[in-house]
Structure 1
Amino acid sequence: MNSKGSKRLVLVLGFCLCILFGTGVGSVVAGQDAGVMLENWFNGKRSESVSEIDSAITAEKERLMGELRQKLNESVGSAAKELDDFTESEKQRRVRALNDYAASLIAGIGNGRGDWDKETYLAEVDKAVNKAIQEIDRAAEKAKKNAEKNKGMQQEPTTGAEPVKQEAPSETKSSEKTVIPAKPSSPDQPGSPSETPSAQPSSEQQSEDAQAAPLDTTLAEPGEEGTDAPE
């Protein structure tokens, strides 16, 4: 009976062990399958999330780029329109100012402005002419002074002989009847000390004239009788 009971116990224990072992192996296999499944699910979700994020980013980027292009085109169009308007207005303003200036010039012709410009021009011409005349007058005055100075310097060496030439006719006037006077020829020779009447007083000149008169008369008497006396 003990042998039968031990066999039964062994069988029960073996059956229990088989059950335990089977359940453990199943739980291990089930745990491994759950981890793999969870990992696969997470990877799938992650890829899906990344794809969704990328798609959302791409879609938003495209939307924003479209809006930016639209705004940029609108701003460029408005700027171009503003630039065109400004250019046109400035062109019209400049042309109008140029026309006004030309009209003012045309209106000023013959209404006093031309005469005023003419007077100014003539005043400038007169000023230049007067300046040239003054310069010519100064040059002529300077040349005149230089000529007078040079003339005075040339006359200085002959001033000593001039009184002798002036006194010679006075001595010969008293002897007009003589043909060839004896002494009047000597005053024509400058340089002799005795023939400088400018250095003698007036009384001596009168005495010499008085002495020369009788001599001249004596010489004149033979001259009247014949022509041999001059020899």
Structure 2
Amino acid sequence: MRRFPGKVAFVTGAASGIGRATAIAFAREGAQVAITDRTEAPLEELRAEIEADGGAVLAIRCDVSVPADVEAAVASTVAQFGRLDCAFNNAGIENKAAPVHEIALDEWDRILDVNLRGTFLCMKQEIAQMLRQGSGVVVNTASGAAIRGVAGGASYAASKHALIGLTKSAALDYAKSNIRVNAVLPGNIETSMMDRFTGGDIQKAIALEPVGRLGKPEEIADAVLWMCSDLGSFVTGASISVDGGWSL
């Protein structure tokens, strides 16, 4: 039995990695899915794949750091599917490694604009729609870096730490409005971001994992869908680590 028949899911950063896996999982569980990303070609490839598998999907080019893009993306989703039940704010970027005193201001702004401001802009639009319809679930992608320091990664870690505060505060704001807000904290996952982070030497990342392997994007998707489903109905304001013990 599929978990999301008649539901509508909205996924940012859907063109690759965790976002891609989660969009596919939502569609296979019966949801109508709006997929967004800045990169159009892989987004269109994902749209075609979901449609070929029998899913209902809307592909939207969207830069989450641009308010007009976000507003248009959520509005298009509601115009197409009539509502918005699950929002997975996954779009994010990694920083260029540097100690704090060497971080350029434009690099700091670049990371915070996407990872924190972008998530905030999405939540504003998503939650406004959920309030109109009387229910909804939001899941934000934080990171194991949201609960520990990262040498050379202050801007990324700061953005992800802030997401935890944003998630908890929003959970309190809407607890009585039938809207739940949670965060998933991935560890070292088999994605293109991890390839860039390690410079192609994936053993560096594996060595950091107590379980001795990288996580799969599908394992994060499983956690997101659980939080969005009725099985997670009493969970709000939570930060759930899915990281093979890395944050320990």
Shorter-chain TM-score tier: under 0.3
Which protein has greater RCO, CA pairs closer than 8 Å, 6+ apart?
2
Task: Tell me which protein shows more strand as a share of its residues.
Answer: 2
Write 1 or 2 for the structure with the bigger share of helix: 1
- The normalised TM-score by structure 2 is 0.14
TM-score, length-scaled by structure 1: 0.15
Q: Which has the larger Rg?
A: 1
